[in-house]
Copies of this chain bind each other. A is one copy, B any other.
């Protein structure tokens, strides 16, 4: 019998507060509509600047989802 298969999706989360909160916001949004979220990997960290200050941190993630057989 074969092992599990996972699907990877790519998300960008954002937060005015921190890079970790940008990750948490992306995961929270994904878990509203998807089950069996298994792990994530950070691909890129960026941010928007307004008036010389950080308006939003933006973190690009891959999220691994375990598919049902």
Q: Which residues of A contact B (CB under 8 A)?
A: 2-16, 18-31, 35, 37-42, 44-49, 52-54, 56-58, 60, 62-64, 67
Contact = CB atoms under 8 A, between A and B. Distances in A.
**How many of these chains are in the complex?**
12
* Shortest Cβ-Cβ A-B pairs, 8 listed: A31-B52, A3-B14, A8-B10, A6-B12, A42-B45, A5-B29, A2-B25, A37-B49
Contacts of A39: 46-49
Contacts of A13: 2-3, 5
A3 B56 contact: yes
What does DSSP make chain A's interface, helix, strand, loop or mixed? strand
Nearest to A7: B11
Contact of A5 (B25, B38, B53, B54): B25
